[in-house]
Chains A and B, each alone.
Chain A
Amino acid sequence: MDRRLRLGNEMSVTVSHVIRSSYRDSVWLMRLAGRLAAMTGIAKSAVMMGTEANKEVLKESGLLDGTGRDARADDVVVAVSAETAALGQDALAAAVAAFESVDRTVMGTSYSSLGQAIDATPEANIALISVPGQYAAGEARAALSRGLNVMLFSDNVEIQEEIQLKAQAKSHGLLVMGPDCGTAIVNGVPLAFANAVRTGPVGLAGASGTGLQEVSVLLDRAGIGVSQVLGAGGRDTGDAVGGASLLQCIDLLETDPATKVIAMVSKPPSRAVADDVLARASAASKPVVACFLGSSATTVHANVTHVGFLEDVVPAVAAHLGLAWASEPGDFWISPQDYERLLKDQVRRLSKSQRFICGLFSGGTLRDEAELVVHGGLGSGSLNYADDHGSVAQGVLGLKSHRLVDLGADEFTVGRPHPMIDPEIRNRLILDACLEPAIAVILMDVVLGFGSHPDPAGAAADAIREGRARAASQGRDVAFVVSVCGTEADPQNLADSEKQLTQVGAAVLPTNAQAARFAMAVGQRSQSAGRLRCVQPPAAAERVSCEKSFLWGGDLVVINVGLTGFYEDLQNLGVRVAHVAWTPPAGGDRDLAARLSLIM
């Protein structure tokens, strides 16, 4: 449980320590901060590079003292607010020890530049780049010039840089996935946020991270599986970039012998890009399924099957593979009895004044899909995705309509990790929402897989339990509707995760779209399944044959530039990976970097 909430405003003392000239990636620092916050007697903690912007953050959270003020951009500030100075010093000592132990291991296993890592790993065929946005394009250019494909996890890359990178890649026969590409599975290797899914005949490509995760997970559960999952990056299907990467992905999947069906997942592309992509797709030698969330097809393309929701990709793919499939779009993949039981259990908690759905999503595409259900409905045409996502300050209080929030949006991730890594922000909002009398249903996604929090369902379950208890103290209860994006093979395990959520009284639905539809039913106090079709979760009757797919000539060999967590994940999977212990040029000092650029 969030100890910040529990400890409230007790008396505390702030102590801090500066570790000189030591750069660590922000996720590593924030994880360390989390560990310190969990120590006895620590109310708040922060571990950050000593940039001016970070010092402001520290100041606002009351963690900036004289020691921290003197830190430079390339120093790390460790600051804690503790019950006693001695407990604070214990935390600082733990932080120093963590730095030293990493220094020892990192010195042995990492390289100080991309060039060094490639020199030592000539077989490398992809660079996974997750450095801060303003530096990412430079690293990507360097990787491309050395003949590596690039997955650019970083966001905040200038769009002109993206266009140039993709042109450079294309001219060298290389692929750039991203920027802002959070999900890929290449040659069986999950990169960044991806689930443990079975190998199969479907090649996925898309400009949507959690959309690709959801579809790959549902294909796995259906017994079908994927050959490749390729991300294009969130802006790829806009006019400026023109679908450059998505078109290349289709080329790659078309020539990949293991891919039998191609499926595309994206927010609605611009008109021109949609035309190009669909023209390319309809000319493909393999059937294509297109899920452009929220856009209805205006033109019929012979070779392309259009579907409305992420889950609808599965039956469309099954049809192309000649597999028997019982379900139609809009079905619930649970038994009618289960549906009614779940519905009754949620509806009976609600009082008359509780009217609204509050969606707290960690996946941007999952939020958009739910939005489509809640506000748009199937086939409603384009949705305004630049919708009001609500601000942190505003939170969920005083809600006057349904509101679905993407907690991975920039405004929620300043100074903290993505909610798929650190559920703290969502936990806080769950508690807030439980105290808001107008809220009937809290709708959530829980995303499992590599890169995600080690137990996101457990974290959500703690918050649900606490939230319901708080609501109960005010004589109310709240409905919870959740879907878990994950598989039995994921490190966090699907069944365990669903069980934890069920145990605290959440209704767990098999897909994100079904969870959203179910939340609407709860909100509307539906009494039964009615005309809805409830069918048992479909699965391919016969085992789908699968051959292993190899892009770029063989096993994936990765150069990881940036987040150490990605390196650890790949190492644990037995993937060949070289880690670049990247540090920002000029220690993150922009003035210095500008001056150096004049003479280098």
Chain B
Amino acid sequence: MKQQTLAELIATANADTLRRMISCRPRLVDVLPLNQVSEVVTGRVLTHSGPPIEWERMSGAQRGAVIAAVMYEEWAETPDQATELAAGGTLRFVPNHDLGGVGPMAGILSPTMHVYVVEDEAGGGKAYSCTEFDALFGAFDDAALDEIKLWNKIVFPVVGRAVRKIGGLDLKSIMTRALTMGDELHSRQTAASSLLALSLAPAIVETSSTEEASLALKVLGESDLSFLPLSMAACKLGSMAAANVPNSTLVTAMARNGTDFGVQVSGLGPQWFCAPAPTIEGIYFPGFGPDDAGFDMGDSAITETNGLGAFALAASPTMSGLVGVSVDQLNKLAGQMREICAGVNSSWSIPQLDSGGPPIGIDIRKVLQSGIAPLIDTATAHRDPGHRIIGAGISRAPMVCFSQALDAWFDRYAPTSLPDHGRAESEGTERA
């Protein structure tokens, strides 16, 4: 038998990876406290967004979110005590991604906080995610803590009862419709959020008191981003299905903790390839500007990893202002992202792309070859603890993450093919 070239091996592996990612069939099956979903999150454990990080290096917003979570769990009574506790080294921090989950912005979740539980009907995987509270931007005042309580005491239990009552909710069909209604399913979730509330409404009314049903539906329906955690969890399932394909050079995670930007690659397992998190170019709410902004943060770039968000901006004319281009230029961005992707997601159809699908399957080779860094549309948090969202915009994944991943790929799959291996490796280390 003819021996396959490296390029052929990769082509086969990437096609398989892409097929797995696209054929994922996400379904919302339950809403449960995090400690019932992951046995790791028991005792004084908090999860966080992005690649691994400890308190000492955490960004301001992530620290603020830790303070809120500690106070919500009543491990401390005041922000100062919470800070002291966190700095004392008795808390354990674990990346959501390592537990099969994703969290918006700071991504700080505590053991008793509820999370959506989403299953892949096609591949059987299970993922979790949580609502984008103000606390996840770093706010820890009374209103921020009250919001966490409202969701965990009322909204999440109400939704959980409804979801169980109807035997789960197909998310793919909601996402498919939302893409034709102006959502790109990362920063714009207006249509999907309404569809979510509508889809659950009958079961919510049936399974909860009028007062609680009314409140839960109001919260779900009023937020433009109530579908964000479900979109993220659905994409995490796609990445889980696509993970660990030998030889594959497709990206399975892009995640940021406000300090570092991390990339995972299918063929390279759970290893993170990290670089300093980039800044976000965009617009600010009144009273805030670039000097106030923290760096890129959150697990929500899992949507771009799965061909949504900035990769599907063509679907979202209303996002053009945030991205800083005209409406007809959004299609061009899709063309640009197509340059670095293994294919298009033909299971989705975007009218603005001549009813074609958005590009999907970021290939580290194509990123490095073209010099085009994956684009992410995202929210901006404050650089200091104690604030809510201050703006939104776009960021670009750092190229260094991809060149490190390439080094690791050669180490693993073709260590003898590089004459100048030692030199290339030392350069990679230096960049890290």
Q: Residues of A at under 8 Å CB distance from B?
A: 21, 23, 74, 104, 107-108, 111-113, 116, 583-587, 591-593, 595-596, 598-600
Q: Is there an interface contact between A21 and B324, defined as CB atoms closer than 8 Å?
A: no
Q: How far is the CA of A21 from the CA of B423 in the complex (A)?
A: 22
What does the 1/0 interface line of B364-404 toward A look like (CB < 8 Å)? 01001111110000000000000000000000100100010
CB of B335 within 8 A of CB of A596, answer no
**Residue contact A113 to B339, C-beta cutoff 8 Å:** yes
B325/A107 in contact, CB under 8 A: yes
Chain A residues with Cβ below 8 Å from B365 are: 596, 599-600
The listed residue (B10, B324, B370) touching A583 by CB distance below 8 A is B370
Pick the contact of B6 from A108, A587, A599 — CB < 8 Å? A599
Write the chain B residue with the least CB distance to A593. B369
Q: Is B371's CB under 8 angstroms from A584's CB?
A: yes
Q: Please give the distance in Å from A513's CB to the nearest CB on chain B.
A: 47
Indicate if the CB atoms of B368 and A596 lie closer than 8 Å.
yes
Query: Given the complex of chains A and B, what is the CA–CA distance between A74 and B10 in angstroms?
Result: 26
Given known A584-B371, A586-B369, A587-B399, contact A104–B324 (CB-CB < 8 A): yes
Q: Is the CB of A596 within 8 A of B369?
A: yes
Interface segment, one of B126-134, B151-159, B414-422:
B414-422
Q: Given contacts A592-B403, A598-B6, A599-B7, is CB(A108)–CB(B417) below 8 Å?
A: no
Q: From residue B146, how far is it (CB to closest CB) to chain A in Å? A: 41
B424 nearest CB neighbor, chain A only = A591
Instruction: Let me know if B102 is at the binding interface, CB within 8 A.
Output: no
Q: What are 25 of the A-B contact pairs (CB < 8 Å)? A: A21-B373, A23-B371, A74-B371, A104-B324, A107-B329, A107-B332, A111-B332, A112-B372, A113-B339, A113-B370, A116-B335, A583-B371, A585-B370, A586-B368, A586-B369, A587-B368, A587-B371, A591-B420, A591-B424, A596-B368, A596-B406, A598-B418, A599-B365, A599-B414, A600-B369
Q: Closest Cβ of chain B: how far from A319's Cβ, in Å?
A: 54
Q: B371: which A residues are within 8 A, CB to CB?
A: 21, 23, 74, 583-587
B410 at the interface (CB under 8 A from A): yes
Q: Complex: how many Å from CA A74 to CA B418?
A: 22
Chain B residues with CB below 8 A from A107, complex form = 325, 329, 332-333
A21 close to B10 (CB less than 8 A): no
Q: Given A107-B332, A591-B424, answer yes or no on A21-B396 (Cβ-Cβ < 8 Å).
A: yes
Tell me the number of A-to-B contacts counted with CB atoms below 8 Å: 73
On chain A, the residues within 8 Å of B346 by CB distance are none
For the complex formed, measure the closest distance between the CB of A390 and the CB atoms of chain B, giving whole angstroms.
Answer: 39
CA A112 to CA B10, docked complex, whole Å: 24
Number of interface residues of B (CB under 8 A): 34
Given A592-B406, A599-B365, decide whether A112 and B7 contact each other with a Cβ distance below 8 A.
no
Cβ–Cβ contact B368 & A112, under 8 A: no
Judged by a CB distance under 8 angstroms, whether B36 is at the interface is no
Q: Which residues of A contact B417 (CB under 8 A)?
A: 598
Most A CB contacts (10 A, CB to CB) among B332, B418, B420, B427 go to B332
Closest to A120 in B: B335
Q: Nearest Cβ in chain A — how far from B316, in angstroms? A: 16
Q: Is A595 in contact with B424, judged by CB distance below 8 angstroms?
A: yes
Q: Contacts A21-B371, A21-B373, A23-B371 hold; do A108 and B326 have CB atoms under 8 A apart?
A: yes
Contacts of B335 in A (CB 8 A): 111-112, 116
- 19 new A-B contacts at CB < 8 Å, known A586-B371, A595-B424, A596-B368: A21-B396, A104-B324, A107-B333, A108-B325, A108-B332, A111-B332, A112-B336, A584-B371, A585-B370, A586-B368, A591-B420, A591-B423, A591-B424, A591-B427, A593-B369, A595-B406, A598-B417, A599-B365, A599-B414
Closest 3 CB pairs of A and B: A583-B371, A587-B371, A599-B6
Q: Which residues of chain B are near A583, meaning CB under 8 Å? A: 370-372
A50 to chain B, nearest CB (A): 13
Question: What's the minimum C-beta distance from B292 to chain A, rounded to whole angstroms?
Answer: 20
A476 to B112, CA, bound (A): 93
Q: Which residues of B contact A599 (CB under 8 A)?
A: 6-7, 10, 249, 365, 409, 414
Contact A600 B7 (CB under 8 A): yes
Residues of A within 8 A of B410 (CB): 595
Chain A, Cβ-Cβ closest to B323: A107
Check if B399 sits within 8 Å of A112, measured CB to CB: no
What residue of chain A has the Cβ atom nearest to residue B329's Cβ? Answer: A108
Cα A113 to Cα B336 in complex, Å, equals 8
- Cβ of B125 to closest chain A Cβ, rounded Å: 28
Closest B residue to A113 using CB positions: B339
Return A271 CB to nearest CB of chain B, in Å: 44
Of the residues A112, A591, A595, contact of B339 by C-beta under 8 Å = A112
A490 CA to B128 CA in the complex, in Å? 67
**Could you say which of B325, B336, B368, B424 has the most chain A C-beta atoms within 10 Å of its C-beta?**
B368
Q: Which residues of A contact B423 (CB under 8 A)?
A: 591
Bound Cα distance from A455 to B406, whole angstroms: 49
Find residues 250-264 in chain B having any chain A CB closer than 8 Å to their own CB. none
Per the 8 Å Cβ criterion, residues 1-55 of B in contact with A are: 6-7, 10
Residues of A within 8 A of B396 (CB): 21
Name the residue on A nearest B328 (C-beta): A108
Q: Which residues of A contact B326 (CB under 8 A)?
A: 108
Tell me, in angstroms, the Cα distance from A591 to B406 when the chains sit together: 12
With a CB–CB cut-off of 8 A, which chain A residues contact B339? 112-113, 116
Give the contacting residue for B369; candidates A23, A111, A585; CB below 8 A.
Answer: A585
Chain B residues whose C-beta falls within 8 Å of the C-beta of A592 in the assembled complex: 368, 403, 406
Enumerate chain B residues within 8 angstroms of A74, measured Cβ to Cβ: 371, 399
Chain B residues near A104 (CB, 8 Å)? Answer: 324-325
CA distance A593 to B403 in the complex (A): 11
Find the A residue at minimum CB distance from B406. A595
- CA separation between A112 and B337, bound complex, in Å? 10
* Cβ of B421 to closest chain A Cβ, rounded Å: 9
Question: Given the complex of chains A and B, what is the CA–CA distance between A21 and B368 in angstroms?
Answer: 11
User: Which residues of chain A are within 8 angstroms of B336 by Cβ–Cβ distance?
Assistant: 112
